[in-house]
Amino acid sequence: EKLQFAASQVAVMQEELTAMQPELIKTQTETQELMVVIERDTVEVEAKKQVVAGDEEVANRAAAAAKAIKDECEGDLAEAIPALEAAMSALNTLKPADITLVKAMKNPPAPVKLVMESVCIMKGITPVRKPDPGGSGRMI
């Protein structure tokens, strides 16, 4: 009785297997087609991966160079800022009487002219061109 039951079950399973055979063949064919597509896409992805890796290397080198320039500029700026602050504080010690004294000079000495030009540049004052008091006819 158990053998007959087992035999009947095997017969049912064989019928189901036979009924599913076309579907299994179809699924196997679809799987093979997908594998071909995946292999082709994998080749394309590998090629693009190589290009991206090269671009990444170039970008990393450019970033390193930019960082080096930035660090150098920050170092130079760190050196220049104290000098600028010292110059600005020295500039703030000037009194209007000092400026009046220099204005009263008809032809101030060259070092005084240089300092006054520097002060004008630091304060953002544009120079006013006047005829040369020395009589050369040039504008100074």
Residue 29's pLDDT is what? 93
Cα–Cα distance measured from residue 19 to residue 11, given in angstroms and rounded to the nearest whole number = 12
Angle between helices 110-123 and 2-92 (to 10 degrees): 140
Residue 87's pLDDT is what? 82
Divide the 140 residues of the chain into consecutive groups of 10 and give the mean pLDDT of each group: 88 88 90 94 92 94 95 93 86 81 81 83 79 71
Residue 82's pLDDT is what? 92
Cα–Cα distance measured from residue 119 to residue 102, given in angstroms and rounded to the nearest whole number = 12
Three-state SS for 50-118 is: HHHHHHHHHHHHHHHHHHHHHHHHHHHHHHHHHHHHHHHHHHHCCCHHHHHHHHHCCCCCHHHHHHHHH
